[in-house]
Structure 1
Amino acid sequence: MAVEEAHEIHTVKDTGTLQDIPDDVTLRRKVPVREQLHPAQRVSIDFDEAHNQELLDTISYNFPIKIFTDGSKLDGGEVGSAAVVYLPNGNKVRLKTKLGRTTSVFIAELTAIESALLWLTRSKWRDNAIIASDSLSSLKALQDRNNPDPTVFSIHSALKNLRQNHDQHVRFTWVKAHCGIEGNELADQAAKEAATQRTATCNNEFPISFAKHVIRLRTHQKWQEEYELESQNSQIAKWFATIDEIEEFRKQVAVSFEMTQILTRHGYHKSYLHRFKITDDPLCPCDDSSIQDIMHLLRHCPIFGGARHDHEMTCNNLKINPYKINELLTKSEPTTTFTQLIKTIVNRLKNINKT
């Protein structure tokens, strides 16, 4: 499956399209080196930081045009970007753009800055401007003079155009979100409104990260379906209902010889050994009548009563099932006592069974 996943990602990069996505929504590609600005023409960008309205007012005092930008992705998947322009005459201009559902918040934030600069280029206003964004990642992306992202390239080109053709300079500042800065709050509201507009979307592209995410989900679903088909005869499936549970278990519990024996039910217990005629019978020496399988050893065998009592008391105090792994993983303490119980059983079993 990993090979198939890698092949599908390569195909997306080659064709620019993604299965189950409309053909007019294409891969977002980097700007080729030959099309990028000459290094001498690239604009160096720095930004200030404003954690409140008072500090922002100080930073922006000498900039007659103040622009606030924001991008938003709603729970339903709708995406929008917006810029709110404060003009020297006291008027405000709101620029809203509805973006495709495959657009990331990062790209939405950059698109808002791009929209503001393109509007500034077309407008009659030639005062210097300051752009305030609450997206630190976007501002850092703009600082990279060699960034091949198409929106970053467009922003750099617009800044160069404003400076060379209009002698208009733009300063950037990061603002803390949702801390009472009026312009930022208005931009946030406008971006959400843009996301829900009943208009055609712009920027119908998907980043390669989106493609990888979709392909990974598809691979995971296929893996889960195959796991369910094979679960009827699988010992592992008796412990884990889903692939997600296995992955979570592997994150939290170190793989060990003892744990492998318990989960696969292949080990030193007599019900397993008897299948291969290594022991005369499958019975546990604790009473010479109970089948010595994994569940007997874990839940009933009096030989391991002490370790079992510690584990079950821990689980009872936390109100979780002592033998449901997905519940055990929600707390570290029962996971530890379960692991200790398993190690106690496996490490003593050979001597107990004299095998």
Structure 2
Amino acid sequence: MYALINERFSTFRTFTHVNALSCENIAGNVILSTPPWATSLPNVDSSLSLSISKETSPKTVIVLFKDHISANYEERTEIYTDGSKTETGCGYSVYVPAQNISIACPLPRILSIFSVELIAIKHALLWVRQSQVTTKVAIFSDSLSALDAIKHSGLYHTALVNEIIELNHQLRTAEITISFVWVPGHSGIRGNESADQLARAGAANTHIRRNHAIPLADVRSYLLKSCKDEWDRIYQSTDTGRAYKDLRPSVHDRLSEVDTRLGNSILLRLRTTHCRLNHHLNKIGCIDSQLCEACGIEETVEHYLMNCRKYRYQRERLRRHAESKNVNFDMRTLLTDPQVLRYVVEYVRSTRGIL
């Protein structure tokens, strides 16, 4: 048992090393120095999201945002944060227009955009602490998910959220009031647009900070994706299972299913051709002939579904169902289109019972 565990852990370390991920860079949990009941709750304002939708024009968004700022945050130091994730990298930004402060930093590519947005907010708080700002501060972010995680921090036991809660409490203790405010993204709001450009510049920077801690959730997602990519590479490089690969070219593709376990078992056997038809039974040495007893030709899945004269009445019923759904009556459609799969199962049940 211990040998198996050591083998699995060794495989994990090898895989993370090959994929440029050190086990030492995985972030552990951050324990708050102050008990939760004594920690200052963050002030999160996402009220603008209730009055702005995708259909709201950019001009209206800007007017609503300016009115919201003048009514609630006019005398505060404004800080805009943003995160960017592209195919080549990640980056975050902190922009303080009143002091002409522009910070753009690259981050490891495996981070999720959720983590990148939280990192941007965390570094905005670090900047406030280091710059000795003594006024009220409004930190603007266009990530509702990040702000929601901060607002409901008790539900998000992650290192990044805990770090933000800890920093916010330290600043509140120093009598610096922090407000986290949602700003509509990509709407022409100057501070947000500047932060967006800075974050994109950070993501384009190839000088990555290798020592940046990676949240465990991002490590898990990255490893799952990497394993699936490796599985897909092996899947596509072999010649086995060609009939199934014609229907599912990549493991990233998903074939539709029906509501019953028996129905899905029937569909899997048809898709793989590993079923109780004479062609397969002869191939594995169970019977001497691979010919259809009614037609005298190979009893393949295609012959069984499309041509066998023994089941012409059942097939005609299946054809009518396909026509009623306006789908083609061919092998690929019958085995992949979710609109007709249950009728294919009915066809099998009415002809062979089970394959």
TM-score range, shorter chain: 0.7 to 0.9
User: 1:45 and 2:47 equivalent?
Assistant: no
1:193 maps to which of 169, 179, 201: 201
User: 1:121 and 2:129 equivalent?
Assistant: yes
- CA deviations on 1:134-184 (whole Å, 9 max, x unpaired) are 11222222234555534333333333333333x221122112222332222
2:316 maps to which of 306, 316, 320: 306
- CA deviations on 1:210-264 (whole Å, 9 max, x unpaired) are 332333234435545665688647875675554445xx22546754264355345
1:169 maps to which of 168, 177, 180: 177
> Counterpart in 1 of 2:20?
21
* Separation in structure 1 between the aligned mates of residue 206 and residue 268 of structure 2, nearest angstrom: 56
Percent identity for Structure 1 against Structure 2: 20
CA contact (8 A) 2:136 2:178 kept: yes
- CA deviations on 1:298-354 (whole Å, 9 max, x unpaired) are 222344252464367579x65x682125x964x543xx1x5424532552347xxxx
1:132 maps to amino acid: F
Structure 2 regions of 5+ residues with no counterpart? 53-63
1:112 maps to which of 99, 120, 126: 120
Give the aligned CA root-mean-square deviation in angstroms: 4.0
Q: Report 1:38-117 matches (<5 A).
A: 38-39=35-36, 41-48=38-45, 49-50=47-48, 51=52, 52-76=64-88, 78-87=89-98, 91-117=99-125
> Counterpart in 2 of 1:160?
169
CA contact (8 A) 2:82 2:142 kept: yes
Name the SS for the 2:163 alignment partner. helix
1:80 maps to amino acid: G
User: How many pairs align?
Assistant: 325
Q: Report 1:1-355 matches (<5 A).
A: 7-8=8-9, 18-23=17-22, 26-31=25-30, 33=31, 36-39=33-36, 41-48=38-45, 49-50=47-48, 51=52, 52-76=64-88, 78-87=89-98, 91-144=99-152, 148-165=157-174, 167-197=175-205, 199-201=207-209, 204-221=212-229, 223-224=231-232, 232=240, 236=244, 240-245=248-253, 248-249=254-255, 251=257, 254-255=260-261, 256=263, 258-259=266-267, 262-263=270-271, 265=273, 269=277, 276=286, 282-285=291-294, 288-302=295-309, 303-304=311-312, 306-307=316-317, 309-310=319-320, 322-324=330-332, 329=336, 331-333=337-339, 336=340, 339-341=342-344, 343-349=346-352
Shift in Å, 1:266: 5.8
CA contact (8 A) 1:9 1:215 kept: no
CA contact (8 A) 2:26 2:215 kept: yes
2:77 maps to amino acid: I
> Counterpart in 2 of 1:353?
none
Structure 1 regions of 5+ residues with no counterpart? 351-355
* Separation in structure 1 between the aligned mates of residue 226 and residue 120 of structure 2, nearest angstrom: 32
Name the SS for the 1:43 alignment partner. coil
Shift in Å, 1:101: 1.7
2:197 maps to amino acid: Q
Name the SS for the 1:249 alignment partner. coil
* Separation in structure 1 between the aligned mates of residue 165 and residue 171 of structure 2, nearest angstrom: 10
Name the SS for the 1:205 alignment partner. coil
Relative distance call for 1:110 and 1:292 in structure 2 (3 A) is closer
Shift in Å, 1:269: 4.7
CA contact (8 A) 1:282 1:292 kept: yes
* Separation in structure 1 between the aligned mates of residue 316 and residue 258 of structure 2, nearest angstrom: 25
Range with bigger deviation, 126-135 or 293-302: 293-302
Relative distance call for 1:131 and 1:59 in structure 2 (3 A) is farther
Relative distance call for 1:268 and 1:149 in structure 2 (3 A) is closer
Shift in Å, 1:44: 0.5
TM norm structure 1:
0.72
